[in-house]
Chains A and B, each alone.
Chain A
Amino acid sequence: MLELCTISKAFLKGQPVLKDISLKVEKGEFLAVLGPSGCGKTTLLRIIAGLEYPDKGDVYINGQAMTHLPAEKRPVNTVFQNYALFPHLTVEENIAFGLKIRKIEKAQIRQKVKEMLSLVHLEGLGKRYPHELSGGQKQRVALARALINEPQLLLLDEPMAALDESLRKKMQVELKKLQRELELTFVMVTHDQEEALAMADRVLLLYNGQIEQEGKPHELYYTPKSRFAAEFIGQNNFFHFSQLAGQEYQFELGRFIFTQKLPPSFTAAIRPEKVHLSTTSVEKSYPVEIRNIIFRGANIFFTAVTHDGFEILGELPAENIQLEEGQEVYIHIREADLVIIA
């Protein structure tokens, strides 16, 4: 469906924004390009859309080279960040824009606009102007305006960024449902790791213009390949292990005996939800003091501090947990929960 081959891009007198990016998107796939701001993800999207040309590399859509084809000639449509709705046109006129340019018959346009309005649940709002709509409604108009052209590939640039928390969650589900039902190919750019993990079939983690890691959401979450990936996706505690003798290692909490052979020195990460507590000392458990309990509905977060002042973030289901600040407990770490990074 979409193929990028060694795309590189640098802006005038600047650092390269993208370095040798290659990727493939299958038909009907939902790919999320995830990364912090300034990682080049929006530039990548603009190159696919044809709003920007790469310095090097090629863009193929359905096997056809489109590297230097301008945006208006590509079978691709975009839902822009902040939606970029035309403020001087009504909702209907906004949605019809693409078809009008292609000189489609008026009656047919009217029919399709109607279909689109009902697809995105905006019946009856066709005569309104964008400034009379709420954030969620604007997003739907932007979606309808892009989808009416039946693009082979839909690009979404931070589609949820302008929505508030509860609406965002709802729209994530809705958008994903729409993509499944219409069997569309989506490439979405986002800085929100939760959103990427929740919506996409595959996630591409971009950092400093390079692909840091690529894989299914759970792969990225459970087996981050680099410290950046481990830090950016979800929360993590990092430990540094150095070999004492054989499989016995020293780390921030004390000593740890591994069952597998490992390099003499490495970093390992552990998710907060994998930090277990016990009131009694067991094997591979370390004394800590509980501080900063944060209640987050279903879960609570806490900070466990060792005698040396090293802090570990932990997460527990809120139910049936009697935890108090200042309490002295043991944290128990299992070898299987440690993700060895480097």
Chain B
Amino acid sequence: MRQSWFKYFLLMPGTLWLGLFVAFPTLLVFLTSFLSRNTYGRLLWEFQIDTYLRLFQWEEWIVILRSLKLSLEVTVVCLITGFPLAYYISRVKKSIQLFLLLLVVIPFLTSSLVRTYAWITLLQKEGLINRLLLSLGWIEEPLELLYNEAAVLLGMTYMFLPFMVLPLYAALEKLDTSLLDAARDLGAGAITVFLKIILPMSRQGILAGSLLVFVPSLGYFFIPDLLGGNRTLLMSNYIATRFSQARDWPFGATLSVLLILLTLALVYLFQKKNPKDNAHEKKV
């Protein structure tokens, strides 16, 4: 009796925090999405569903699809660049592993906004890269590196790569090297070993990393804003401008609700693909 009471007591701070700063604001967003506004953007207590009907218009869908496409690209690029890195880290000596993981995490010590501005100074017309290429004589005109989708992809990949590397590392680190030996002993070449052993054995890490990259990259708005200029409208900065410049809170909230639902659907799919009963991932 006393114990179970104590258990709930321990849950209190977390529950309060999540309730106040996650559940309550989410409810507010949900509520706002059904409210109306006057011409100055002020919210009125008149319920409507027009904002939801607007979601069925093609112009809005283009933004949503473009967002999904970019997030998918970010995830794939993170996976392709992160996998070899995570594999390498997992195979070196333990002491070096810790050092390399530290290097992966260190960028988090600086504000992500500052790091995004750093990319601007690198990529802009008079930026470091263009100046270097010009002085080497490799190009005659400065390249348009900034304010396009490629720049957004680059910035996002840079930002989310650690979220991919860490779960991949966690999965690969558990991979028993004797399994790789066994596969080779049974006649498997390097590619077969990768496809039949390493890849399926790191499935958990791939799924977790992909989720951790895909979901936040859907909602990150200042990287597309800063590196993409206003040329690449994505769901995230679309929502941001609905709330700020456009003063259209109900529609911004509606888009937010859509984003939340999309995210929840992904998490649900992930959990289904990744059932609790994965005892075979444990030590054999």
Q: Do A and B come from one complex?
A: yes
Which of B5-13, B116-124, B178-186 lies on the face that meets chain A?
B178-186
CA distance A293 to B35 in the complex (A): 91
With A78-B182, A84-B176 as given contacts, are A149 and B280 in contact (CB-CB < 8 Å)? no
CA distance A98 to B182 in the complex (A): 10
0 or 1 for each of B197-228: is its CB under 8 Å from A? (1 = yes): 10011010000000000000000000000000
0 or 1 for each of B266-284: is its CB under 8 Å from A? (1 = yes): 0000000000000111101
CA distance A49 to B185 in the complex (A): 7
Which of B73-81, B187-195, B229-237 lies on the face that meets chain A?
B187-195
With A87-B281, A101-B192 as given contacts, are A81 and B178 in contact (CB-CB < 8 Å)? yes
Closest chain B residue, CB of each to CB of A148 = B186
B residues less than 8 Å from A101 (CB atoms): 186-188, 192
A72/B187 in contact, CB under 8 A: yes
A residues less than 8 Å from B200 (CB atoms): 88
B284/A131 in contact, CB under 8 A: yes
Q: How many A-B residue pairs have CB under 8 A?
A: 79
B280/A72 in contact, CB under 8 A: no
A98/B178 in contact, CB under 8 A: no
B residues less than 8 Å from A73 (CB atoms): 187
CA distance A291 to B279 in the complex (A): 51
0 or 1 for each of A137-171: is its CB under 8 Å from B? (1 = yes): 01000000110010000000000000000000000
Q: B28 → chain A, closest Cβ, in Å?
A: 45
Q: A16 → chain B, closest Cβ, in Å?
A: 21
Query: A71 contacts which of B178, B181, B203 (Cβ < 8 Å)?
Result: B181
CA distance A70 to B192 in the complex (A): 14
A102/B187 in contact, CB under 8 A: yes
Q: Interface extent on A, as a size class?
A: 20 to 34
Q: A256: CB under 8 A from chain B?
A: no
A86/B189 in contact, CB under 8 A: no
B186/A77 in contact, CB under 8 A: yes
Main secondary structure of the interface of B (DSSP, over half): helix
CA distance A129 to B277 in the complex (A): 13
Closest chain A residue, CB of each to CB of B279 = A131
With A130-B284, A131-B279, A131-B284 as given contacts, are A72 and B182 in contact (CB-CB < 8 Å)? no
Q: A88 → chain B, closest Cβ, in Å?
A: 5
A residues less than 8 Å from B178 (CB atoms): 80-82, 84
Interface residues of A in 80-94 (CB under 8 A from B): 80-88
A51/B184 in contact, CB under 8 A: yes
CA distance A329 to B221 in the complex (A): 93
Query: B186 contacts which of A46, A130, A145 (Cβ < 8 Å)?
Result: A145
B181/A84 in contact, CB under 8 A: yes
A87/B201 in contact, CB under 8 A: yes
B187/A86 in contact, CB under 8 A: no
With A80-B181, A86-B179 as given contacts, are A98 and B284 in contact (CB-CB < 8 Å)? no
Closest chain A residue, CB of each to CB of B201 = A88
B residues less than 8 Å from A88 (CB atoms): 200-201, 203, 280-281
Q: B180 → chain A, closest Cβ, in Å?
A: 9
Interface residues of A in 170-225 (CB under 8 A from B): none
Closest chain B residue, CB of each to CB of A157 = B178
CA distance A98 to B192 in the complex (A): 11
Q: A97: CB under 8 A from chain B?
A: yes
With A80-B178, A81-B178, A84-B179 as given contacts, are A71 and B184 in contact (CB-CB < 8 Å)? yes
- Name which of A50, A78, A88, A98 has the most chain B CB atoms within 10 A of its CB: A88
CA distance A70 to B185 in the complex (A): 9
- Name which of A70, A80, A149 has the most chain B CB atoms within 10 A of its CB: A80
A residues less than 8 Å from B182 (CB atoms): 78, 80, 84-86
Interface residues of A in 214-262 (CB under 8 A from B): none
B residues less than 8 Å from A80 (CB atoms): 178, 181-182, 185
A70/B284 in contact, CB under 8 A: no
Closest chain B residue, CB of each to CB of A71 = B184
Closest chain B residue, CB of each to CB of A76 = B185
With A81-B178, A88-B201 as given contacts, are A131 and B280 in contact (CB-CB < 8 Å)? yes
Q: A111 → chain B, closest Cβ, in Å?
A: 19
CA distance A102 to B184 in the complex (A): 12
B residues less than 8 Å from A72 (CB atoms): 184-189
B residues less than 8 Å from A71 (CB atoms): 181, 184-185
Query: What are 5 A-B pairs with beta-carbon distances under 8 A?
Result: A76-B185, A81-B178, A88-B281, A130-B284, A131-B280
Task: Give the 8 A-B residue pairs with the shortest CB-CB distance, closest first.
Answer: A84-B182, A98-B186, A84-B178, A71-B184, A87-B280, A101-B187, A78-B185, A87-B284
Residues in B lying within 8 Å of A, measured CB to CB: 176, 178-179, 181-189, 192, 196-197, 200-201, 203, 279-282, 284
* Further 15 A-B residue pairs, CB within 8 A, beyond A87-B282, A88-B200, A146-B186: A49-B185, A50-B185, A71-B181, A71-B185, A72-B186, A72-B187, A77-B186, A80-B185, A84-B179, A84-B181, A86-B183, A87-B281, A88-B201, A88-B203, A131-B280
